[in-house]
DNA sequence: CGTATCGTTGAACCATGTCAATGTCTGTGG
DNA sequence: CCACAGACATTGACATGGTTCAACGATACG
């Protein structure tokens, strides 16, 4: 039993460690639920919060604000995301989290959630898995921003979202993304102007186009071809249809010292 | 007692969740210890490993390798770091971890470490804290790479290392960093050539200079002035001399539903 | 119908990359 | 002790992707 929990927790077969359905009961009893409209904030930069949030439905983004007014979008949060675990590690950091669509989420006081871990250790492992999942996304973004030209960078970003879409709940067709060009720019370290130019090309090439305030993916195949996400990553994003892994059984550590 | 563990885990007062001293006994009994020389790898890209590593002494860096041969350095690992928690989430990712100096580290089979969490839940929270710590570093790096010009980017990077130095064990004076210009370039998304130019300026301005293969910080004050790390972050890096936090006590979650 | 928000377009500029050559140090083998 | 090779760092000339500035266009909303 223990071994099984460990195995399933480490090798996430689902899109995220937590499914939106189970979030309200994560602490054993029903959590507080709230909802917000597009543009509103779960928490604002500089605000000290002792809560952790779980997204039940909708899109949000967490970001950091700089003195000079610039904004760095770190992650796009979809249903199943746990928000605030990392943000609060360093107190006083100017991080915030705002909604892109209508968002329903639950609230866990930190102490309650972590207290629950003490009585239910497997929850701790799942939280580790969730934080790790976010870290993987950010590492990937870092590589993109550091080394890829704007075109690939944007394509990778959109492709990532396209792959994560199954978590969105609805598998719309065509898939549409509630992001402004300024959001994209702030996520990727570009200028809205340059995003505009690049997206213009995407439109010309029949890859993606704005419909109202949503960016619609017209041809996912073309998008995938422009993007440089490798296939195994794309699969992992989509819910870990990764090759099955022979998980080691939990057993006592071997004792040995350095010669 | 529980509340105390939760509190101390969440608001890390030390430089890292784990101290190098306690790493060998993390799983309850002495872990396997190994050591490597500069340039050798704890694990190589593409290698599938079911182990997690804890750095006891020395410097290492974890990185990702691309098809085109490029390398993205994600984090500089210092004593106390837990490596491989994130790397293995997505199997088959081309990530590796290599030594910058002689490194002593311990090895935990994943299943053993996570199995231990089941019997000692507080360990789970400490692992969460460690993963979160790394994530904060990467988010910061992302902001730098996305928005800062090369000069600030490099200054921030060096300043970060300078602040983390107390974890290095020896508080050398002057502080020296075992990184090649190519390492710095690969960490920050720059060209070694441009790093060279910028470091040349740093030398001219009496900020930092190479001595042998180590970059020595000559004037930490000047470095801090060039860098844009905010003060609270610098303190956090240095071991969380953060303002004390009134930690909430662990208590039952309030039950309430969305109206 | 005025105002706000977001996207588009063009022209000029510049931080950084690219290419290519040279310099410096260290260790090694004859 | 010298010759040589390998790994890094330095320097200069040139190319360019992306920014900046500035103006204009479209769409939505009260």
One domain for residues B89 and B170: no
pLDDT of residue B235 exceeding 60, the answer is: yes
The separation between the first and the last C-alpha atoms of chain A, rounded to the nearest angstrom, is: 36
Q: What is the mean pLDDT of residues B160-177?
A: 79
Task: Tell me whether residue B191 is in a domain.
Answer: yes
Q: Using the CA of B190, give the nucleotide whose C1' is nearest.
A: C16
One domain for residues B159 and B213: yes
Helix axis angle for A181-188 and A192-204, nearest 10°, is 110
Q: Do B121 and A119 touch (CB under 8 A)?
A: yes
A12 min Cα distance to partner chain B (Å)? 8
Q: Residue A159: which CATH number? A: 1.10.10.10
- Residue-wise pLDDT tens digits, A195-247: 999 999 999 999 999 998 999 999 999 999 999 998 889 989 987 644 333 22
How much helix, strand and coil, in percent to the nearest 5, is found in chain B? 40, 20, 40
Q: Which residues, 6+ apart, have CB-to-CB distance to B137 below 8 Å?
A: B75, B160
With CA atoms as reference, the chain A residue closest to B253 would be A112
Q: Is B200 on the interface with A (CB under 8 A)?
A: no
Q: How confident is the model at residue A172 (pLDDT cuts 50, 70, 90)?
A: low
One domain for residues B48 and B88: yes
Task: Tell me whether residue A157 is in a domain.
Answer: yes
Number of domains in chain A: 2
- Residue-wise pLDDT tens digits, B13-67: 556 789 999 999 999 889 999 999 999 999 999 888 889 999 999 999 999 999 8
pLDDT for position A174: 80
- Residue-wise pLDDT tens digits, A89-123: 777 788 999 999 999 999 999 999 999 999 999 99
pLDDT for position A88: 72
Of B147, B180, B198, the position where a domain reaches its end is B147
Of A136, A157, A190, the position where a domain reaches its end is A136
One domain for residues A117 and A159: no
One domain for residues B135 and B106: yes
Mutation site for B-interface testing, chosen from A24, A62, A114, A123 by largest number of B Cβ within 10 Å: A114
Q: Residue A31: which CATH number? A: 2.60.120.10
Mean pLDDT of chain B: 85
One domain for residues A193 and A106: no
Q: Which positions on chain D have an atom < 7 Å from some protein CB? A: 8-12, 17-22, 27-28
pLDDT of residue A248 exceeding 50, the answer is: no
pLDDT of residue A3 exceeding 70, the answer is: no
Task: Tell me whether residue A244 is in a domain.
Answer: no
pLDDT of residue B136 exceeding 90, the answer is: yes
Window B:77-116, CB contacts with A under 8 Å: 85-86, 88-93, 104, 108-112, 114-115
Task: Tell me whether residue B256 is in a domain.
Answer: no
Q: What is the mean pLDDT of residues B104-118?
A: 96
One domain for residues A127 and A166: no
pLDDT for position B238: 83
pLDDT of residue A127 exceeding 90, the answer is: yes
Of A115, A136, A157, the position where a domain reaches its end is A136
Considering only CB atoms, B189 lies closest to which of A64, A145, A253, namely A145
One domain for residues B189 and B143: no
pLDDT for position A69: 84
Q: Which residues, 6+ apart, have CB-to-CB distance to B171 below 8 Å?
A: B165
β A103-109/A51-57 pair status:
antiparallel
One domain for residues B48 and B154: no
pLDDT of residue B89 exceeding 80, the answer is: no
Task: Tell me whether residue A254 is in a domain.
Answer: no
pLDDT of residue A76 exceeding 70, the answer is: yes
Q: Which residues of A touch B88 (CB under 8 A)?
A: 10
Domain range holding B181? 149-240
Task: Tell me whether residue A142 is in a domain.
Answer: no
Task: Tell me whether residue B249 is in a domain.
Answer: no
pLDDT for position B257: 24
Q: What is the mean pLDDT of residues B125-149?
A: 96
One domain for residues A218 and A156: yes
Window A:153-182, CB contacts with B under 8 Å: none
Distance B156 CA to D16 C1' (A): 27
Q: Is A5 on the interface with B (CB under 8 A)?
A: yes
pLDDT for position A48: 82
Q: Which residues of B touch A29 (CB under 8 A)?
A: 252-253, 255
Chain A residues 175-234, Cβ below 7 A from strand D? 189-191, 193-194, 197, 212
One domain for residues B6 and B77: yes
One domain for residues B137 and B155: no
pLDDT for position A87: 77
Task: Tell me whether residue A251 is in a domain.
Answer: no
| Cis upstream peptide for A174 (omega within 30°) | yes
Mutation site for A-interface testing, chosen from B66, B111, B183 by largest number of A Cβ within 10 Å: B111
């Amino acid at each position: 039993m223990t071994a099984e929990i460990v195995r399933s927790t480490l090798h996430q077969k689902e899109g995220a460690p937590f499914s939106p359905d189970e979030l309200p009961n994560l602490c054993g009893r029903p959590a507080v639920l709230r909802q917000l409209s597009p543009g509103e904030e779960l928490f604002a930069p500089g605000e000290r919060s002792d809560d952790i949030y779980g997204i039940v439905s909708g899109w949000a983004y967490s970001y950091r604000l700089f003195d000079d007014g610039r904004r760095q979008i770190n992650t796009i949060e979809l249903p199943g995301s746990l928000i605030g675990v990392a943000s609060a590690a360093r107190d006083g950091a100017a991080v915030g989290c705002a909604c892109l669509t209508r968002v329903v989420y639950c609230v866990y006081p930190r102490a309650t959630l972590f207290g629950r871990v003490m009585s239910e250790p497997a929850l701790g492992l799942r939280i580790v898995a969730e934080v790790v999942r976010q870290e993987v996304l950010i590492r990937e973004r870092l590589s993109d921003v550091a080394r890829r030209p704007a075109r690939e960078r944007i394509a990778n970003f959109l492709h990532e979202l396209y792959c994560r879409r199954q978590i969105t709940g609805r598998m719309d067709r065509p898939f549409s993304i509630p992001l402004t060009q300024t959001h994209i720019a702030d996520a990727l370290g570009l200028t809205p102007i340059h995003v505009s130019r690049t997206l213009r090309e995407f439109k010309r090439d029949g890859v993606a186009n704005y419909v109202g305030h949503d960016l619609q993916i017209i041809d996912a195949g073309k998008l995938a071809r422009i993007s440089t996400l490798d296939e195994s990553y794309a699969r992992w994003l989509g819910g870990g249809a990764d090759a099955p892994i022979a998980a080691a059984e939990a057993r006592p550590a071997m004792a040995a010292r350095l010669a």
